[in-house]
């Protein structure tokens, strides 16, 4: 994925994807702008970033969902954030940011260190840096400690792996031999004769 940085907020991109979904996943970009009562230039940042994250394809003025975009829009909020985390980590900028956090003492970056880091990237400073931080926080890649003015990486536990088929516990054993099992139990004779038969035997 090429070097890129967010030019829109998560809410703006989400709104565009919801609208595209209402158009059955494919629509002319100019029509999308009209539906939002915006100029085309005003929706391009959201469209460009959705495209950079692999959620949307744009061709000859038409926007459509990729397979990943279809999965994203049909997912829960939690799963959408997981998809965003995976896609953001593929961008050069977020790879650089997360690598810096991983190598920093206590895995933290101060405001000054963050500003120095972004001064080495194509991303403009100030407002755009704040927007980048907002994306990282929304996707739960990073969190910002407002009291200490530091950026901290968020660690997510890997999904639990399923045991291989050969290591799965065997199914519960069933009784073996003659007269074993529920069917045999149903066919077993009663332990003692019914009361009526005992009385008849005594009278005879």
Mean pLDDT of 133-145: 91
pLDDT at residue 4 in the model: 57
For residue 138, what are the CA distances in angstroms to 83, 131, 134, 155? 12, 10, 6, 14
Q: How many CA atoms lie within 13 A of 49 on its CB side?
A: 22
Are 68 and 83 in contact, with CB atoms under 8 Å apart? yes
Are 65 and 25 in contact, with CB atoms under 8 Å apart? yes
Residues pairing with 62 in the sheet:
28, 59
Mean pLDDT of 62-78: 96
**What are the residue ranges spanned by the domains of the chain?**
10-76, 78-153
pLDDT at residue 173 in the model: 54
pLDDT at residue 133 in the model: 85
Query: By three-state DSSP, how is residue 86 classified?
Result: helix
**What CATH code is assigned to 10-76?**
1.10.10.10
pTM value surpassing 0.75: no
């Amino acid at each position: 994925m090429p070097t890129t940085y967010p030019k829109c907020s998560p809410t703006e991109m989400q709104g565009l994807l919801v609208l595209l979904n209402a158009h059955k996943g494919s629509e002319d970009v100019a029509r999308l702008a009209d539906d939002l009562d915006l100029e085309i230039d005003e929706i391009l940042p959201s469209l460009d970033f959705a495209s950079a994250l692999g959620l949307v394809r744009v061709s000859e003025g038409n926007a459509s969902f990729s397979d990943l975009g279809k999965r994203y829009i049909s997912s829960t909020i939690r799963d959408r954030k997981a998809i965003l985390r995976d896609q953001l980590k593929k961008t050069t900028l977020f790879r650089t940011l997360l690598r810096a956090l991983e190598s920093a003492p206590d895995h933290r970056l101060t405001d000054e260190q963050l500003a120095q880091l972004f001064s080495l990237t194509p991303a403009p400073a100030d407002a755009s840096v704040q927007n980048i931080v907002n994306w990282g926080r929304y996707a739960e890649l990073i969190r910002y400690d407002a009291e200490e003015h530091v950026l901290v990486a968020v660690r997510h536990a890997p999904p639990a792996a399923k045991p291989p088929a050969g290591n799965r516990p065997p199914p519960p054993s069933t009784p073996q031999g003659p007269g074993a099992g529920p069917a045999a139990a149903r066919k077993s004779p009663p332990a003692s004769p019914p009361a009526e038969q005992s009385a008849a035997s005594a009278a005879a």
